[in-house]
Amino acid sequence: MNLDIQTILVVLLANVLATAVALPLLMGWRVSGAARLFQASMVTQGVSWAVFLIAPKVHDRALTSVSLGLLALSFALLWSALQHWVGPRPGRRLMWGLVAAMPIVYAWAYPSYPLRVGLSNAFFALQMLLICVALAWPAPHIGRRWRGLVLASFAALTVVTLWRGALGAFFTDAYPFYRATHPVNVAAVFLNHVALSLCTLGLLAAWREEAERELRRQAQTDGLTGLLNRQAFLERAHTLLAHARRYEETLTLFMLDIDHFKRINDQHGHAAGDAALQTVSQGLRACTRGGDLVCRYGGEEFCVLLSRATAGDALRFDERLRKWLVTMAQETGAEAIDYSAGIAVRQPDDHTMDDLLLRADTALYKAKAEGRGRMAGSPTGEQKELSFDLAM
C-alpha cells in the first residue's frame, strides 16, 4: 500500500484541531490551572501543525521554524500541566530553554538538512523524555493508570523521534525529506495519531481525578477559613485518640472562642467578623505543628488537637497564639483579637472525643465566666484545675 504522508499529516491536523475544540466544550472554561494548560497545549499543537503544512507554499524556512517553536511550546505547556497534577518535577529550565532555542536553532541550521533534522528531533526527544520523567517520578496518591498510559505513549514517541532524527542526520539518503514514505516516518506519523488519542484520554482521567480530589477537599474544609470542618476534624481526631490510647501517649484538646465576636459584627460589619475568623485561622496554622489537627468547630469556635502534648504544652501554644495575634494587629493596624480557651488532657478512661470535648467546653465557659482573655482547663480527671490569665 502506497501511503501519502501529506494526507496523513492533514488527517493528524484535523484530529488535533478537533480535540482542541472539543476539550473546552467538554471540560468547560472554568477549570483548574492544570486543565487550562492542557487545553492550551492542544490548541498550540493544532496551530503548529497548521503552520507546518502551509510553510512550503509560503516561506518554508521562517514558517517551519515558527511551527517547530509552537510544537515545542505545546510540549512545555503539557509538562507544566503535569506539574499541577503530579507535583513539582525536575527540568523546568531545560524544558523552557528548549522552547526558546528550537526556532532559533532550526532557522540557523536550515541550510543543512542533516543538521536541522538531527537537532530538531533531538530537542523534541529531550522534551518528551522530560515528560516521561515527570510521569514516572513517584507521586503518592496520584493515579497510576492514567500516568502509565500517557507515559507509554510518550516513551514510544521518544523512540521514533530519536530514530527519525538519526535517519535524517546520518542516513540522509534513506530519509531525504520530512514527507518521505520511509517506514520509520510512516510509523512516527501513525503513532502521533494513536498517542494523541491515548494522551487525551489519560489527561482527561487526570482532570477527573483532580476534580474528585477537590470535591473531597471542599467536603472536609470550612469555606471561609480553609480549616477542617467539624465532621472531618472529628473523624481524624477519633483516629488520633485511638492511637494515643493504644500507645499511652498524651493528647490535649484546645478549644477557643473569639471574645466579643458579636460586637465585632455589630460595630464593624460581617466582613470584619469574617476577617477576624480568617486571622485566627492563620494564627492557628502558624502556631501548630505538623501532627496537630485544627478546625473551625462552628461559629467563632475553633478546636486544636495537640498530639503528644501536656497541659504545659497547651499553655505554651496559647502564649504563642496570643503573641502572634498581637503582632499581626500591630503590623496591620487592626484591632487586636482576643479569645477565651479551655483545654482537656486525655485521660485513661476517655474512650471517645466526646469525653474530651465536654471537658474542654466546660473549661472554655469557665474562662469566659472568669473575665475572658484567658485559658482554663482540667489537666486530669481530678478536681484540680488550671486557670491562666493571659490577656495581653
CA atoms within 13 A on the CB side of 127: 28
Give pLDDT tens digits for 48-99: 988 988 888 899 899 999 999 999 999 999 999 999 999 889 999 999 999 9
Averaged pLDDT score across all residues of the chain: 87
Predicted confidence at residue 3, as pLDDT, reads: 58
Predicted confidence at residue 6, as pLDDT, reads: 63
Q: Three cell numbers at 246?
A: 493504644
- pTM, two decimals, is 0.68
The strand ranges marked E within the chain are 251-258, 293-298, 301-307, 339-345, 374-378, 386-389
Give the pairing of strands 301-307 and 293-298. Answer: antiparallel
Give pLDDT tens digits for 325-378: 999 988 888 888 999 999 999 999 888 999 999 999 999 999 999 999 999 986
Q: Is it the case that residue 253 has pLDDT exceeding 50? A: yes
Alpha helices in 178-288 (DSSP H): 183-220, 230-247, 261-268, 270-287
Predicted confidence at residue 94, as pLDDT, reads: 96
Q: Three cell numbers at 203?
A: 489527561
Give pLDDT tens digits for 136-161: 998 888 888 999 999 999 999 999 89
**Which residue, chain included where needed, has cell 478546625?**
295
- Read off the pLDDT band of 278 (50, 70, 90): very high
**Which residue, chain included where needed, has cell 489537666?**
379
Q: Is it the case that residue 213 has pLDDT exceeding 70? A: yes
